[in-house]
Structure 1
């Protein structure tokens, strides 16, 4: 979530669905790594993959937009390894894993209880 928030992916999707290659270009990131990130986040309901490789916002990712009153985008700044994940997305590193998301997702749900049912 940190990498998605810092890269501004939710902001990029506010005008509609985009492919992972478009998101990679818009964020200056490595396309295959963005695809892995988006699929991982879609698997827990943060984004939705509407067609293969095409992603859109969900009610949960709405909170990652910087232009909404209930934005939690900056909550992710406190996670130490988030910057490492973001750098992996900008490079061609293939060590990206989804394990780093579990604790931040629990904290996110604690701060935004209306999304608790998304993770049961």
Structure 2
């Protein structure tokens, strides 16, 4: 069974207030808060799009007494000499292994990276 509209009447209500009323003041404040804070955020953050950025970080340096040294003999010969503090790496080098004299001098609190 189909239903038919027998009667309809649209209701329209409008409310009016003067320019110096509380409702008009509220409407003005609400409109100002809609537009001004985003503009202030954009101004304070120097725009919405990042134009240039940089990042610096101070590394934490811990001396662990581990060394890997590879010395190239020249571009034409293609050979190299190697040494490290890792015994397994030294065993792999065979006759290219050279054991240098290594001295370590540690000065506490004089290093720019140490704390």
For Structure 1 versus Structure 2, the TM-score category normalised by the shorter chain is under 0.3
Q: Which has the higher contact order (CA 8 A, sep 6+)?
A: 1
Q: Which has the higher helix share?
A: 1
TM-score normalised to structure 2 length: 0.16
Q: TM-score, normalised by structure 1?
A: 0.15
| Greater Rg by CA | 2
